[in-house]
Amino acid sequence: MPIKLNLDRVMLEQRISLTELADRIGITLANLSILKTNKARAVRFSTLEALCRELKCQPGDLLEFVPGPASELPGPAANGPGQPGGV
């Protein structure tokens, strides 16, 4: 996937644990772990906003474009009706 989340690096710089950050932004530890390990296929803007607020950073500090093969984006039916993707 050409977009990489540098959440682990920013968390290390801020000296904040996964558990503490999850509590602060109101996200499950499991979902935050998915983001931290770059296994997420999408990120909600509200989650990105909460991460930036708590980590006192900009979206560009967390997101990085890494050239490589583009991932195939799912169509609207891929997530089922009324179920937007993202963590």
> What are the Cα distances from residue 85, in Å, to 23, 68, 81?
22, 23, 11
Residue of higher predicted confidence among 73 and 69? 69
- Sign of the CA dihedral 9, 67, 58, 84? negative
- Domain of residue 26: give its range: 3-68
- Sign of the CA dihedral 85, 7, 52, 60? negative
Assess whether pLDDT exceeds 80 at residue 1.
no
- Which DSSP state fits 77? G
Q: Is residue 8 part of a domain?
A: yes
Amino acid identity of residue 60, one-letter, is: G
Q: Residue 23: which CATH number?
A: 1.10.260.40
d(CA 39, CA 84): 17
The alpha-carbon radius of gyration of the chain (Å, integer) is 13
pTM score, whole prediction: 0.77
Per the structure, how many domains does the chain have?
A: 1
Assess whether pLDDT exceeds 70 at residue 59.
yes
Assess whether pLDDT exceeds 60 at residue 26.
yes
Q: Is residue 20 part of a domain?
A: yes
% the chain with pLDDT above 90 = 74
Q: Is residue 56 part of a domain?
A: yes
